[in-house]
Amino acid sequence: MLERYQQEISVVLNKFWSTQAPALRQAAGWMAESIAADGLVHIFGSGHSVLPVLDMFPRYGSYAGFNPMMDSRLMWLSVMETGGAKELLWLERTEGYARVFLEDKDLLAGDLMLVFSHGGLNAAPIEVALEAKRRGLKVVAATSMDNHRHRTATHSSGKKLADIADLAIDNCVPAEDALVEVEGMLGRVSAGSTVSFITIGMALVAEVAAQLRQRGITPRQFVSPNVAGFSPDNNRQVFADFHQRRLRHAARRLNQTAHS
């Protein structure tokens, strides 16, 4: 079965790289434009789709400009107990919650919202995308277009995530997500979407950095202490950069509100 998973995930990634590079470059261009203008690239996912959000920033090899938006109620902290998977699965499908989650978030025109959702059907990612669009942000969706093509919308808007987005990046994972057939088992095992989503996130981090450098901007990298050549307080400065960016961003919102 090890070889079988290797084969199946290789099929996914080969298809991904052969078809999605143009979308990645376009998304990265928009993100670099936002960061260069002192905006933010907000990142959202719920359930297992929070994993690429956690991985994009802060983590070694990344830099300020990406703003992970996470809610502990939209990720499971246990299986059956309080904060467990059952509660999460109910909440991420409940309409109205995501709008409350975003009420006090600084989402400004010129920012970008990146939403990860394999299914692209649940209320939480759809309503984050809808609210971001309402506030004038570009929206990029990372989703399964196999799901998009073959599943019926369940949100009251009649929309699926890719319908809302300005750009959809296909994770190239089948709708079922699990990839490996094991004899005697009815369904497949071993998901593929997280591997693809992490690939999307890291590819964007790399391409956005390259496009920022083309604009003459050098973001301060968050680095492992095992990397030579960086000052001992480098990572503290990365967090300071992020904090200052957030403060400037909030000040822009207050200024816009005062003049609206």
Q: pLDDT tens digit string along 2-42?
A: 999 999 999 999 999 999 999 999 999 999 999 999 999 99
Q: Considering its fold, how many domains does the chain have in total?
A: 1
CATH code at position 126: 3.40.50.10490
Q: Distances in Å between the alpha carbon of 78 and those of 47, 75, 203? A: 12, 9, 30
The dihedrals phi and psi of 190, each to the nearest 5 degrees, come to: 70, 95
Question: What DSSP letter does each residue of 188-214 carry, written as one string?
Answer: -EEE-HHHHHHHHHHHHHHHHHHHHHH
Give the structural domain span for 161.
2-258
pTM for the whole structure? 0.95
Cβ neighbours of residue 73 closer than 8 Å, sequence gap 6 or more: 83, 87, 88, 91
CA distance 216 to 214: 5
Give per-residue pLDDT as tens, 85-143.
889 999 999 999 999 999 989 899 999 999 999 999 999 999 999 999 999 999 999 99
The dihedrals phi and psi of 226, each to the nearest 5 degrees, come to: -80, -5
